């Protein structure tokens, strides 16, 4: 390659850097990556990418003389430096997809960012890093789990992907994920968040070990342990214990996943008259049907997050009934279960302002007929006989 005096030293460094990386990548241990395109090691935050090289494989590029690469149209010193940076990533001892420092020490930048904040920086995710994340999901057999179960907050995830199984993404390249129809920046970021956080948690966990891990929102683990404690021990919890160890943590998760207004609505419903849907609708400027729709989101997010919850809490409720717990306590617990874990499509509206403190409507107090059971979520009155309240 011909060098002029002004660029001789700089070009010499580029040539020697290229030859060093070329020698390393042509070693037998890197054969598995030679047929991948250079774009495999690019990330969203990269600048001055050598676009003329991005679709070419490492094998093709490494078999091309450096002076010929440098002479490619549109390729100057800045883009050659970026080219060498991408080769450097490809030449790391592990299949990486994040930035490396000047000493070529492996640094998983996306993981470093995740230590300080729960969300993955999508601009730091490359094809190579995405391959590792997908492999972790496969290794731990999580393909059938819904995406929303592992979200940092469901408020940050579009509802249409809450129930998408992880398996729908494990066979897609990062480019294919980004090109999916209806998958804009927000949906792609939500998918990367889940896969990245699962990888960070499970990358060092052996799925075939005699010990395993349970993946769930951290706030739900003590709740489930508390319920199991009462199911396996003598006695039943008091209302205060139910409130502090079960209901309050569930309402807090509703606040995280559905927002403070819905959590406040659900909390009000458990506080007798102050929870009147009629009053809440008037205060918020909404129809009662809309308020019921908002309330139903509380159970939707909780069952998604805690699929074992309805069965476990139902068993606890049955144990309390068998132990002849106070009727008012059972009535309050029934309301909490229906509101938070078993929300049905039937809503009692006509008796809201006459609801006694135990949470049950009183037909005798307002003289309503048993056949007037309120309205369904579609707003049409039901003429069926009152159905018994659903049990856990």
Structure confidence at residue 144 as a pLDDT band (50, 70, 90): very high
Task: Note if the pTM is more than 0.85.
Answer: no
Comparison of pLDDT for 14 and 154, the residue scoring more: 154
Q: Give tens-digit pLDDT for 299-320.
A: 999 999 999 999 999 999 999 9
Please report the DSSP string for 258-326 in residue order.
H-HHHHHHHHHHTTGGGG-HHHHHHHHT--HHHHHHHHHHHHHHHHHH-TTHHHHHHHHHHHHHHTT--
Q: At what angle do helices 327-340 and 309-322 cross, to 10 degrees?
A: 170
According to DSSP, the residues that pair with 346 across neighbouring strands are 376
Q: Give tens-digit pLDDT for 29-78.
A: 888 888 888 888 877 667 788 888 888 889 999 998 888 888 888 888 88
A 10 A CB-CB count for 68 gives 9
Residues sharing a CB contact under 8 Å with residue 216, sequence separation 6 or more, in sequence order:
149, 224, 305, 306
pLDDT of the residue at 343: 56
Closest by CA to 359, choosing from 340, 334, 376, 380, is 334
Alpha helices in 77-143 (DSSP H): 77-90, 109-116, 127-139
Q: Give tens-digit pLDDT for 228-270.
A: 999 999 999 999 999 999 999 999 999 999 999 899 888 888 8
The answer, yes or no, to whether residue 110 has pLDDT greater than 60, is no
Comparison of pLDDT for 28 and 123, the residue scoring more: 28
Give percent above pLDDT 90 in the chain. 35
Question: Is the Cα torsion angle 178, 180, 181, 183 positive or negative in sign?
Answer: negative
The answer, yes or no, to whether residue 17 has pLDDT greater than 50, is yes
CA-to-CA distance for 333 and 243, rounded, in angstroms? Answer: 9
Closest by CA to 224, choosing from 315, 308, 319, 333, is 308
Average pLDDT, the chain: 78
Residues sharing a CB contact under 8 Å with residue 353, sequence separation 6 or more, in sequence order:
273, 276, 278, 279
Yes or no: say if 334 and 359 are a contact pair by the CB < 8 Å rule: yes
Closest by CA to 252, choosing from 284, 291, 223, 288, is 223
Give the position of tokens 């948690």.
Answer: 201
* Lowest mean per-residue pLDDT among 139-153, 333-347, 351-365: 351-365
The answer, yes or no, to whether residue 291 has pLDDT greater than 60, is yes
């Amino acid at each position: 390659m011909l060098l002029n005096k002004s660029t001789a030293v700089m070009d010499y460094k580029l040539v020697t850097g290229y030859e060093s990386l070329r020698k390393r990548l042509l070693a037998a241990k890197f054969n598995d990556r030679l047929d991948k395109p250079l774009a495999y090691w690019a990330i969203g935050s990269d600048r001055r990418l050598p676009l003329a090289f991005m679709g070419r494989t490492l094998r093709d590029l490494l078999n091309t003389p450096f002076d010929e690469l440098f002479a490619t149209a549109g390729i100057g010193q800045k883009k050659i430096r970026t080219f060498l940076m991408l080769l450097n990533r490809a030449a790391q001892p592990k299949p990486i997809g994040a930035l490396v420092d000047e000493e070529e020490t492996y640094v998983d930048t996306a993981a470093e960012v995740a230590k300080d904040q729960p969300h993955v920086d999508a601009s730091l995710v490359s094809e190579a890093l995405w391959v590792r994340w997908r492999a972790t999901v496969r290794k731990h057999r999580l393909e059938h789990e819904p995406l929303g179960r592992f979200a940092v907050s469901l408020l940050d995830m579009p509802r249409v992907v809450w129930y998408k199984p992880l398996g729908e993404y494990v066979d897609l390249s990062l480019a294919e994920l980004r090109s999916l129809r209806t998958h804009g920046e927000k949906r792609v970021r939500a998918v990367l968040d889940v896969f990245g956080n699962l990888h960070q948690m499970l990358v060092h966990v052996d799925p075939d070990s005699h010990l395993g891990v349970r993946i769930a929102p951290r706030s739900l683990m003590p709740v489930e342990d508390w319920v199991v404690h009462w199911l396996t021990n003598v006695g039943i919890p008091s209302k205060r214990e139910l409130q502090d160890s079960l209901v309050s943590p569930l309402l807090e998760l509703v606040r995280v996943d559905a927002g403070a207004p819905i959590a406040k609505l659900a909390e009000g419903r458990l506080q007798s008259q102050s929870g009147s849907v009629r009053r809440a609708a008037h205060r918020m400027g909404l129809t009662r049907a809309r308020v019921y729709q908002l309330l139903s989101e509380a159970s939707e997010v909780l069952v998604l997050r805690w699929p074992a919850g309805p069965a476990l809490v139902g068993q606890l409720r049955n144990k309390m009934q068998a132990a002849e717990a106070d009727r008012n306590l059972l009535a309050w617990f029934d309301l909490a279960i229906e509101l938070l874990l078993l929300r049905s499509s039937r809503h009692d509206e006509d008796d809201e302002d006459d609801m006694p403190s135990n949470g049950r409507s009183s037909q005798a107090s307002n003289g309503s007929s048993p056949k007037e059971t309120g309205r369904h979520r579609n707003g049409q009155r039901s003429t069926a006989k009152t159905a018994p309240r659903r049990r856990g």
